[in-house]
Structure 1
């Protein structure tokens, strides 16, 4: 596993070492493309990024008082941090949870209206659509995640983005861009031998996530890879054994030579 930076990819190629890109980072790039594709969505995200309230200690204290009055748990608004994965999703999710409290806060302290009802509905729909990306990022970040999970996850994500849902209202461009970005950035996933081999050899998946024509091709390629790797391993073991045997023979000859020299000196 390596970083997606071009210099890292070039270094692994020059060293002739097999490597795989970071899938979690690629998912975040897909999400960023989607958020910038639709003006109505990018405006909402930009508004809450630039809007500083309620971040001051006094404003946070007032917001918590409002939350207590409404019988809600005290929570602060999440910030969108570019270097933190899924931070935009967490920010929008926290806004939907605190929609009522933020509205009361703005009314009590005579602040300008935050968002329209249409924009609040759009935030809920965006959060619903980004939830699978957040869940998938968590799954592949576990220590138990393997390369076999990648093809299955991407196929499931594509199927989800192709399905029509009630929450698509007002964000078809966003959803279409997400699907196109996934297809573009993960277009070579099924062509990567390590992904294919890991998926087919995993008893949970095998060839379930390949098309019928592709599965036969993948099986043939994987068996060829396994056979080639086995032959290479055999060759390496044979070279190791021969090297060890040569060293032992040289050691015996040296011992015999020193023994003869010692005997002659007597």
Structure 2
């Protein structure tokens, strides 16, 4: 039997899930209803969502429109015909003439009526044709996505020029009001995205979390949480934002730990957490420790602190460069003069970059740009501000500091991604950075010599024990691009390899768990002592280990002996091709290579939040900002 069509406007706000049941698009509550009445849906909307308008302005029928137009014309005809007949009766002209005039008048009237009716029909079909309900809903959803992902204000639907643009693009689409957009469409789109992301994260075998805190321009505190996992179907590293929530409690270790635990339970991933990546804030690290999760320090934050602490050895030169940059950025005549001299020297005009202490690699960007237009800067300063001139020794310091800082610039950019494996590079980059810094040990320029020495000390302090971190060293070994080659000390690899073999031997695969044989009863069938296969079976039995730990050792040794793949290849695709060969290693790999090396994903969330909640949008509530961020990041 065909299902009954749903004509009520209430179905714009509900979704039919089961027979006689419907789910609210705003609060996701499932309601029961009778076979012939949807009164429960109406009562729910009035009680729980009273601000949402459930009335639908129905369009006029074409027949009614034409009938009204025709009746109006006929009324005019009725008024015109008696006038003609009266004139005919009092006229001395022949009757035939009167009859002709009457016929002509009726024809003109009918023609005018037909033109009016056809014009109305054309206007309705070509210009005022309404969109279907599904199409209108799709346009509403796309409008909300544009606002969330483009950091637009909700009031854009009230701007006159935007409304004119939409009218020109599709006259049949009626823009929702700002209130409808805020109180109806936004919660609906948020709940829809929430259900979609929850369905996706269910497939994850292991989840890595990044978290950080942020304070908005309205002095509201937020905590962002992102989740990262390997999709076992597509073999891609996936990232989702599971919350950018307003947090009004005291930022103590206990409170933050409880907040994180509640979020993990809400998403049903509390038993899948393998690591929590955060910056070096003491309260976040303490919260992770209280929660019983493993912690990984953000690699990018650590590098930034390392560089900032070491730059104090060349602070005198850096300060002089900052003063010059500030002058040209602040003085319009100075900026114009610098541009003119660059053009005279046939140099592509470049603007100077300002150093910002909270922005990673900004000192390198400033010095690198400064040195690129060295000649133009020297000439311009000599003309307009000779007191800002740098000494020859300062220029030597700038020139020699750039290649040293470029090491950390390259590493920071490469580990900050979230769509490719990065945790396995943590130990490798520490090894490479140490080797590169060692090359500058023979430097004779005093400030640079002190700079290099300080960098070595900071590296040893922050990354001296990085190869002893269980998560990072196992991730390095399980990455077919690095394996043992990623370690600086081979002893640390041997220790990690022995532990990994033991862990792999304890893995019980799902197929093995269901096929564990029960104790067999003694067989009554006599064995063939002199079978031709007896010797062969004994040899095979000696080669195939029965101990699971021994089997894990064999699998691990075979994996280590395979050649390394190119470092630009995707290790997840390599594991996809060898999934059946290294079954235990593959299962364990899913719990390590999904870990991110930095908490940059949270920094990106806050950057988007800052673009959405700016000085012109301070009235945006914390709840709406959280919903907009969820839609924008997912």
TM-score bracket, shorter-length normalisation? 0.7 to 0.9
1:219 alignment partner in structure 2: 497
Structure with larger Rg: 2
Residue by residue over 1:146-165, the C-alpha shift from the partner in whole angstroms, topping out at 9 and shown as x without a partner, is: 21001010001111112247
2:327 and 2:504 map into 1 onto residues whose CA distance is 59
Q: Which range is displaced more, 218-227 or 59-68?
A: 218-227
Mark the runs of 5 or more structure 2 residues left unpaired by the alignment.
Answer: 1-276, 515-634
Q: 1:181 to 1:166 in 2, by over 3 A?
A: closer
Q: 1:192 to 1:29 in 2, by over 3 A?
A: same
1:248 alignment partner in structure 2: none
Q: Of Structure 1 and Structure 2, which has the larger fraction of its residues in strand?
A: 2
Secondary structure of the corresponding residue to residue 208 of structure 1: helix
What is the Cα deviation at residue 207 of structure 1? 1.0
TM-score normalised by structure 2 residue count: 0.35
Residue by residue over 1:118-142, the C-alpha shift from the partner in whole angstroms, topping out at 9 and shown as x without a partner, is: 2101100001111111000011012
Matches within 5 A, 1:5-44: 5-36=281-312, 38=313, 41-44=314-317
Secondary structure of the corresponding residue to residue 20 of structure 1: strand
Alignment partner of 2:318 out of 29, 42, 45? 45
Q: How many residues align?
A: 231
Mark the runs of 5 or more structure 1 residues left unpaired by the alignment.
Answer: 239-266
Matches within 5 A, 1:145-184: 145-164=421-440, 169-170=445-446, 171-184=448-461
Q: 1:182 to 1:54 in 2, by over 3 A?
A: same
Q: 1:69 to 1:165 in 2, by over 3 A?
A: farther
Q: Of Structure 1 and Structure 2, which has the larger fraction of its residues in helix?
A: 1
Q: Which range is displaced more, 65-74 or 110-119?
A: 110-119
Contact 1:49 / 1:79 at 8 angstroms: preserved in 2?
yes
Contact 1:4 / 1:21 at 8 angstroms: preserved in 2?
yes
2:444 and 2:298 map into 1 onto residues whose CA distance is 29
Secondary structure of the corresponding residue to residue 172 of structure 1: helix
| Residue 82 (structure 1) aligned with residue 357 (structure 2) | yes
Alignment partner of 1:195 out of 443, 461, 472? 472
TM-score normalised by structure 1 residue count: 0.80
Residue by residue over 1:56-113, the C-alpha shift from the partner in whole angstroms, topping out at 9 and shown as x without a partner, is: 2222112111111111111111100011100011111111112111111012225325
1:163 and 1:156 map into 2 onto residues whose CA distance is 11
2:485 alignment partner in structure 1: 208
Poorly superposed stretches of 4+, deviation over 6 Å: none
Residue by residue over 1:31-72, the C-alpha shift from the partner in whole angstroms, topping out at 9 and shown as x without a partner, is: 112111x2xx11011223344311222221121111111111
Alignment partner of 1:91 out of 366, 371, 378? 366
Residue by residue over 1:21-40, the C-alpha shift from the partner in whole angstroms, topping out at 9 and shown as x without a partner, is: 1101100111112111x2xx
Matches within 5 A, 1:47-86: 47-51=320-324, 52-55=326-329, 56-86=331-361
2:369 and 2:307 map into 1 onto residues whose CA distance is 18
Q: 1:175 to 1:202 in 2, by over 3 A?
A: same
Alignment partner of 1:139 out of 393, 406, 414? 414
Alignment partner of 1:104 out of 376, 379, 387? 379
2:441 and 2:294 map into 1 onto residues whose CA distance is 40
